[in-house]
């Protein structure tokens, strides 16, 4: 489904990613962990074509997206939705316009648009907020709107960048439950970047640990905890 082949991403002579190879199967919840600055967000940006690797290849369903034109990449970005580290909503647009952003070119009748928006907001557990502005929502609600906006694109893959960071434990739990529910209902593939070990083992089918630009470990959450590798042990003890 998703494959990175020997991906190098260089910035100012430094290899942020230094030969990353990964395969993520359809329907997985694949978690990427690693210290701050390890290159986790960079991987997500490569997966939806916001960045192109310096060398190596990125395949989505067998298609090498590193070779696509900017126009063709738009198609990939619809299929591979990125939920940003900050909710990154359009601050000047009300919630309904944020969620309905994917349909803006369809010229839907107002009632139909609102009905669709409400259906998706209900899916993320939000009711009656469609007319509010993003600034009038709490951080947790903004994350859910951001998730709703991604879901509206009907993607095959959802990339989550730190979906629970900055949230209290109860709201975090709600977001994680929601991610699992969406996973089951929409049959998507999820790639989740998180610092939260507990969250990773709760929702991850597999976990990868990124260290110094390379994948130091890939395995099930149970295997992560049992790994004899010192890098993994250090990470687990620190988390
Ligand atoms: N456009 C850029 N220009 C310069 N440096 C960059 C750029 N993008 C990323 N970097 C550097 O690449 C490294 C990896 O960044 P990235 O955002 O992928 O890390 P991360 O693992 O997501 O970290 P965090 O956990 O703090 O979000 C960092 O050292 C960052 O400073
Ligand atoms: Mg990041």
Residue-wise pLDDT for 32-65, tens only, equals 999 889 999 999 999 999 999 999 999 999 999 9
Ligand number, closest to the Cα atom of 43: 1
pLDDT of 143: 87
Provide the b/e sequence for 225-237 (b: ≥16 CB within 10 Å).
Answer: eebeeeebeebbe
Is the per-residue pLDDT at 173 higher than 90?
no
Domain 2-238 sits in CATH at: 3.40.50.300
Query: Hey, whose CA ends up nearest to atom 26 of ligand 1?
Result: 36
Domain segments of the chain as ranges: 2-238
State the average pLDDT over residues 60-81. 92
Please report the atom of ligand 1 found closest to the CA of residue 195. 25
Q: Is the pLDDT of residue 170 over 80?
A: yes
Lowest mean pLDDT across 22-26, 40-44, 153-157: 153-157
Q: Which of 20, 37, 40, 196 to mutate for ligand 1's pocket (most ligand atoms within 8 Å of CB)?
A: 37
Span 114-142, mean pLDDT? 91
Ligand 1: residue of 11, 46, 50 to mutate (most ligand atoms within 8 A of CB) is: 11
What was the pLDDT predicted at 239? 62
Residues 6+ positions from 88 with CB-CB distance below 8 Å: 146
pLDDT at 114 over 80: yes
Q: What is the pTM of this model?
A: 0.90
Q: What are phi and psi of 230, to 5 degrees?
A: -65, -35
């Amino acid at each position: 489904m998703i494959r990175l082949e020997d991906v190098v991403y260089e910035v100012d002579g430094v290899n942020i990613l230094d030969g990353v190879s990964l395969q993520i199967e359809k329907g997985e919840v694949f978690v990427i962990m690693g210290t701050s600055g390890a290159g986790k967000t960079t991987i997500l940006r490569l997966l939806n074509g916001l960045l192109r690797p310096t060398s190596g290849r990125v395949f989505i369903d067998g298609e090498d997206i590193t070779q696509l034109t900017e126009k063709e990449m738009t198609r990939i970005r619809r299929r591979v939705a990125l939920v940003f580290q900050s909710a990154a909503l359009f601050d000047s647009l009300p919630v309904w316009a944020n969620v309905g952003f994917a349909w803006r070119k369809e010229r839907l009748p107002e009632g139909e648009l609102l009905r669709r928006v409400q259906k998706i907001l209900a899916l993320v557990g939000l009711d009656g907020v469609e007319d509010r502005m993003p600034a009038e929502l709490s951080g947790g609600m903004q994350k859910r709107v951001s998730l709703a906006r991604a879901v509206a694109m009907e993607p095959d893959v959802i990339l989550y960048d730190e979906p629970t960071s900055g949230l209290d434990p109860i709201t975090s739990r709600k977001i994680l439950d929601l991610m699992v529910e969406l996973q089951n209902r929409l049959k998507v593939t999820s790639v989740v970047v998180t610092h939260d070990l507990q969250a990773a083992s709760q929702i991850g089918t597999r976990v990868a640990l990124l260290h110094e630009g390379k994948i130091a470990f890939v395995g099930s959450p149970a295997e992560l905890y049992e790994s004899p590798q010192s890098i993994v042990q250090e990470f687990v003890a620190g988390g």
